[in-house]
């Protein structure tokens, strides 16, 4: 990351504010995909539950294999989405902490240089 000055006067030594904003956008996108994955998984499980109830009533379990496969695939997609959210959260939190540290150091340096004069 690099030094960058923003219109509102924020200057950082190491953290580019654009990188922080991009990390936040990535986090929001990952959260959206996770919610979509959770919905797809819930829908798949609901369909499977209804099919299982019907299969028990009719004592016919043959056509359930594809529904189990769909549920397993939806679970895999959801688990990947959860992992991406954790990864995106980690990046965003790390960049946020680094920026806060930089601002603190910068302000401490400004106070020190003002006192030195």
Please write the tens of the pLDDT for every residue from 62-91.
778 899 999 999 999 999 999 999 999 999
Please write the tens of the pLDDT for every residue from 98-109.
888 888 888 877
Q: Is the pTM of this model over 0.85?
A: no
**Cα angle vertex 42, ends 54, 39, to 5°?**
145
73-79, long-range: CB < 8 A, 24+ apart: 74/37, 74/40, 74/41, 74/43, 74/44, 74/45, 75/41, 77/37, 77/40, 77/41, 78/34, 78/37, 78/38, 78/40, 78/41
């Amino acid at each position: 990351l690099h030094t960058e000055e923003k219109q509102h006067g924020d200057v950082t030594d190491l953290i580019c504010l654009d990188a922080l904003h991009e990390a936040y956008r990535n986090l929001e996108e990952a959260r959206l995909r996770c919610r979509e994955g959770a919905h797809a998984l819930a829908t798949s499980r609901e369909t499977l539950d209804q099919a299982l109830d019907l299969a028990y009533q009719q004592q016919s379990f043959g056509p359930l294999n594809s529904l189990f496969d769909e549920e397993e695939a939806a679970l895999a997609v959801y688990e990947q989405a959860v992992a991406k959210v954790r990864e995106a959260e980690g990046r965003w939190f790390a960049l946020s902490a680094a920026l806060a540290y930089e601002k603190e150091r910068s302000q401490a340096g400004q106070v020190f240089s003002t006192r030195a004069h």
